[in-house]
Structure 1
Amino acid sequence: MKKIGILGGTFNPPHIGHLWIAEEVRIRKQLDEIWFVPTRTPPHKETAVLDAAHRLEMLRLAIQGNPHFHINALELEREGKSYTYDTVKELTAKYHEDAFSFIIGSDMVEYLPKWYRVDELVKMVRFIGVSRPGSELQTTYPIDCLEIHPLDISSTFIRNRLGDGEFVRYLLPSAVMNYIKENRIYGYRES
């Protein structure tokens, strides 16, 4: 039986904060692998996200070299909104011998009561709540809390800086930065 952590998100773009959280959780919670699960259409975001092919390729570039990191694209293959309940249900049915943990930031812990079928979901998967700036890990749901030194980086911050032609070099893996440059995405301009 493998112990697998699931880290979902748009990864628009994937940055060092995602990688930092994934590795910290993997090591400190003694997980065998982290599966990055990019979403097609997250239910809590109304804004458009970059084409899935670009996000998937950037994620592949971001995790290359770490044998514990993998990508599972099942949400990209499914039409419509991506609900965690549907993803966990599909993964636990397909990999029934493995134990899954779902990694969320403390900002998402606050919204658990609004999650689709959350009462069933907490019976299917262990939640690992990671501390993030500006929010606390307080909920009535069973959450395995993990305080880590946060990197206050967001994909929105990076996209905005790229669009303004500002410096982002140390916020992204170099392979991801090169991909953004080569494909001129996020309004990339030389700074």
Structure 2
Amino acid sequence: MRRDTAVHGAPIGLLGGTFDPVHHGHLRPAIELQERLGLAEMRLVPGHVPPHRRPPRADSEQRLRLLQYAVVGAPGLVVDARELRRGGYSYTVATLYELRAELGSRPLCFVLGSDAFLGLASWYRWRDLETLAHLVVMRRPGHALRLGDELAEWTAARQVLDPAALRGCSSGLILFQETTPLDISASRIRRLIAQGRSARYLVPDLVWGCIAKEGLYGYPQI
């Protein structure tokens, strides 16, 4: 844990994903966490090629454009395209090393879902994460996580209950935070479009307009 003698500035949040496409299930938790944790900003980081899942359907330029539309008029949400520029596999640890070099001792909060957290031990250089950022795990209300022995022991030594603790050091803490559950997934949106159905109101209006105008994900059906 990095307990710096001089921590400068409010924490920066980081939420990664393929955003294929971005939808309200991404954006609502991002806004909630930005407010509850007192983040200076929440950076949305679209990945280039995810190590643990299939490549995205839309290309990098298309997904970036949709994400930029999604944050229009949303103060505090910022698009960070560094993983797309870097290319190759999008390893979280590499992104956090870059950000830590830029931010100095400023607190950095890496946000991930509970399912991703359960698989954390399979990530590339996962033990390095605590030297670079705090981990903020989004948890569904009333949903208990069953951690394996290794992850449970690692978590217990680092978990805090008060979001204010994240402001006192630059990295090394774990916070579980409930967010509003929205049963929306990118795969469902792609499936709806493939069936010739509308995904409107599952995504921001500007995002849906771009999908329709540019014919992304096979829309409109011909």
Take 1:96 and 1:63, find their aligned partners in 2: how far apart are those partners?
Answer: 26
Q: Which residue of 2 aligns with 1:82?
A: 90
Q: Does 1:182 align with 2:213?
A: yes
Shift of 1:97: 4.1
Letter in 1 for 2:100: T
What residue number does 1:28 align with? 36
Q: Which residue of 2 aligns with 1:161?
A: 192
Amino acid at match of 2:198: F
Greater relative contact order structure (CA < 8 Å, 6+ sep) = 2
Q: Which runs of 5+ in 2 are unaligned?
A: 1-8, 159-173
Matches within 5 A, 1:34-183: 34-132=42-140, 136-137=144-145, 138=147, 139-140=151-152, 141=155, 142=158, 143-183=174-214
* Aligned residues between the structures: 190
Q: Which residue of 2 aligns with 1:14?
A: 22
- The answer as to whether partners of 1:131 and 1:146 remain within 8 angstroms in 2 is yes
Deviation per residue, 1:43-101 (Å, 9 max, x gap): 11124431111111100000011121111111001121000000000001012142110
1:5 is matched with 13
SS in 2 for 1:5: strand
C-alpha contact 1:164 1:189 (8 A) present in aligned 2: no
| Farther off after superposition, 41-50 or 84-93 | 41-50
AA aligned to 2:203 is L
CA apart distance, 1:167: 2.6
String of CA shifts for 1:147-183, please: whole Å, max 9, x gaps: 1221011111101101111231110100000000011
Aligned-partner SS, 2:84: helix
Contact in 2 for aligned 1:130/1:148 (Cα 8 Å): yes
For 2:178 and 2:219, the matched residues in 1 are separated by: 34
Asked whether the 8 Å contact 2:29–2:180 carries over to 1, the reply is no
Question: Which one-letter code corresponds to 1:122 in the other structure?
Answer: E
Distance in 1 separating the partners of 2:201 and 2:102: 38
TM-score, with normalisation over the residues of structure 2?
Answer: 0.81
Separation in structure 1 between the aligned mates of residue 208 and residue 193 of structure 2, nearest angstrom: 10
Alignment root-mean-square deviation, CA: 1.8
Give the partner amino acid of 2:18: T
Relative distance call for 1:48 and 1:26 in structure 2 (3 A) is closer
2:141–2:179: 8 Å Cα contact kept in structure 1? no
Q: In 2, distance between residues paired with 1:119 and 1:102?
A: 14
Question: Partner of 2:161 in structure 1?
Answer: none
Residue identity opposite 1:171 in structure 2: L
- For the residues of structure 2 that align with 1:153 and 1:10, how far apart are their CA atoms? 15
> Quick one: distance in 2 between partners of 1:67 and 1:144?
24
Runs of 5+ unmatched residues, structure 1: none
Cα distance, 1:40 vs. partner? 0.3
| Deviation by residue 1:89-137 (Cα, 9 ceiling, x = unmatched) | 0001012142110110111011111111111112211010002499744
